[in-house]
């Protein structure tokens, strides 16, 4: 029978918030390397290692293009990692999209007065063009 791994995580009631409890538990888990190996998949390990390598290269001043080529990361991921360094908290591009990125406005409603003030409309093979 294999040696049983045990780690004593503190109860939630010892902390004023779940975030504090989470941070305390994370520190405990990190201190026990064997326990962390049981919890993290090889893909998650790969992602952590690549992000750590990207942080190292960003701090050393390498350009995005060099980091992209070497680590096979997208510029968006590198940008997220760079923001994480500034803010001390990593958020994926998808997570940032929910709160930070602005929605793009691709077209605006044109009133009849604006349409008329552009000049006469001429239909071409490329669509309608407004001539002065």
Q: What average pLDDT score do residues 9-38 get?
A: 88
Q: What average pLDDT score do residues 117-132 get?
A: 79
Q: Give the confidence band of 8 by pLDDT, cuts at 50, 70, 90.
A: confident
Q: What average pLDDT score do residues 16-21 get?
A: 91
Residue 4's pLDDT is 61
Token pair belonging to 93:
């591009």
Q: What average pLDDT score do residues 97-121 get?
A: 65
Residue 47's alpha-carbon distances to 6, 15, 42, 70, 89, in angstroms, are: 26, 30, 9, 14, 16
Q: How many degrees, rounded to 5, is the angle at CA 125 between CA 122 and CA 130?
A: 25
Segments making up each domain of the chain, as ranges: 7-39, 45-101
63: pLDDT strictly greater than 80: yes
Residues forming a β-bridge with 120: 131
Q: Give the confidence band of 71 by pLDDT, cuts at 50, 70, 90.
A: very high
Residue 1's pLDDT is 42
90: Cβ contacts below 8 Å, ≥ 6 apart: 51, 80, 81, 84
């Amino acid at each position: 029978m294999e040696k049983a791994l045990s780690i004593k995580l503190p109860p939630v009631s010892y902390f004023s918030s779940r975030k504090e409890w989470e941070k305390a538990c994370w520190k405990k888990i990190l201190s026990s390397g064997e326990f962390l190996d049981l919890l993290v998949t090889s893909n998650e390990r790969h992602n952590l290692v690549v992000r750590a390598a990207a942080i190292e290269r960003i701090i050393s001043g390498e350009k995005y293009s060099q980091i992209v080529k070497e680590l096979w990361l997208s510029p968006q991921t590198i940008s997220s990692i760079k923001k994480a360094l500034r803010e001390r908290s990593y958020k994926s591009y998808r997570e940032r999209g929910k709160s930070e990125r602005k929605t793009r406005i691709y077209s605006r409603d044109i009133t009849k007065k604006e349409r008329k003030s552009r000049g006469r409309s001429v239909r071409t093979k490329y669509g309608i063009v407004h001539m002065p």
